[in-house]
Chains A and B, each alone.
Chain A
């Protein structure tokens, strides 16, 4: 069982390949080149280095969001295309769930923060890999207030690009390099979900924006 993990939600990201639970290889880049130009070349190298044919892939796990809208669509469109052409299932994983899974062994509360600019974040809190609240879009201050009232007795760990961007305010974050979502985490979590009976395909799998477009918001304000 070969599982491909894809993350294109931020400037970093890339692809990882698992054979069952075992990591075959992973490619993460933090560069300005677009995912459109680097995702498939990275996948091609991974497959070649691992001695695996693309036709051997059995499952595609992809980050659906939140994150850069354009980036997400590149990853999701690629996952859809692979799923459709190879006739294999696809599984969507949110960025936040990816962090919750990646830091599941932390003995306290993991607060995943995805930067949404202007001191706002998409966020969700996890304990032992399981969510303890719903994903939400809030001001950073609202998240910190929540932490003070709901999780004050627990050790706290902030993860995600939001924790890097707002490092001064959140303090208890992991070092930036460790805070990146790893495509292998996306692959692992997707594989677990698939084993639990969850799966999607090229038609049903879609991005999780967690925000309406500005045009829609403005139009509703006027209406």
Chain B
């Protein structure tokens, strides 16, 4: 029997992170060093600067994670590292560090998809999570509907064929002159608005299809604003925002429920930035409740990038038999389902 301890390493964007978790669920330490302040003056993450900070911070952060957990490298059973998607220069620092540690100690190494990591953040909040479950990952870059038959494995049921849901929020928000990210701004604007005021198209709602499409909706929303402008009509913004947001939430929830029923799961999981949308969460909770299902989402502090979630995903992947060799490389545009 191994110790059940996993060392997780995460450097996919501008956070240098390491964590030690036990049995895939119990967080012993979770160190996250954010570079937000460093990049602020440049108006966004500068990849080369991020990489330079990662290499300096990586080992102090790993050392702190082990120390805070009260363990040494010798106690670790698995090393898990995020190898994509993300900034390739940043990812490479974590990947090279993890591989060297694994090579020197003989501890098995597992490369983890960062997006999969976000799903496993649900296992770290002390709530009871049981597979099988259906998970919807919605962010500015992703709209993926997954089935997790047992931890460590997943099956992609559907994904967006064009824009991600968060992308649609961002684009419409930009046209309205709202700051980035657009989701929270639209949600705020939609408060007090009538979601039935304007009907926007829902893409791909036919049965037995779990793929998404948001480009038609986005175009319709932008056209609506344009036409009003040309006619000199004033748009009631709360109604517009509420109707637009509702069109997205409606499609996401319908597909999620359809998948959850088909696969007879007891729990559905939301992850990704759009999962923070309160209107969306409430609607999913209500719909899940009607079907005797429970809605799960990660605790707030584990919604942002961290290494504990990478360790969790990596641990279950390891139990399922996956291993990475010492030629593991960073993959900037790694998709779910690619190994």
Contacts and interface: CB of A to CB of B under 8 A. Distances in A.
A85 interface: yes
A86 interface: yes
A82 B105 CA distance: 9
Contacts of A216: 49
A204 to B, nearest CB: 10
Contacts, number: 105
The dominant DSSP class at the A interface is: helix
Given A36-B329, A54-B104, A81-B97, A70 B92 contact: yes
B130 interface: no
Give the interface residue-count category, chain B.
Answer: 35 or more
A77 interface: yes
Contacts of B51: 69-70, 73
Contact of B48 (A37, A39, A213): A213
Contacts of A79: 100
A214 B48 contact: yes
Nearest to A40: B326
A36 B96 contact: yes
Interface in B312-336: 326-330
Interface string A26-69: 00000000101111110110000000001100000000000001
Interface of A: 34, 36-41, 43-44, 54-55, 69-70, 73-74, 76-82, 84-86, 202-203, 206-207, 209, 213-216, 219
Contact of B100 (A37, A78, A206): A78
Given A41-B327, A215-B42, A206 B59 contact: no
A214 to B, nearest CB: 7
B290 interface: no
A216 to B, nearest CB: 7
Interface of B: 41-42, 46, 48-49, 51-52, 54-56, 58-60, 62-63, 73, 88-89, 92-93, 95-101, 103-105, 326-330
A40 to B, nearest CB: 4
Contacts of B328: 36
Given A215-B48, A215-B49, 11 more contacts: A36-B96, A36-B330, A41-B326, A69-B89, A73-B89, A78-B99, A79-B100, A81-B99, A81-B100, A81-B103, A216-B49
B59 A80 contact: yes
A5 B314 CA distance: 31
A77 B96 contact: yes
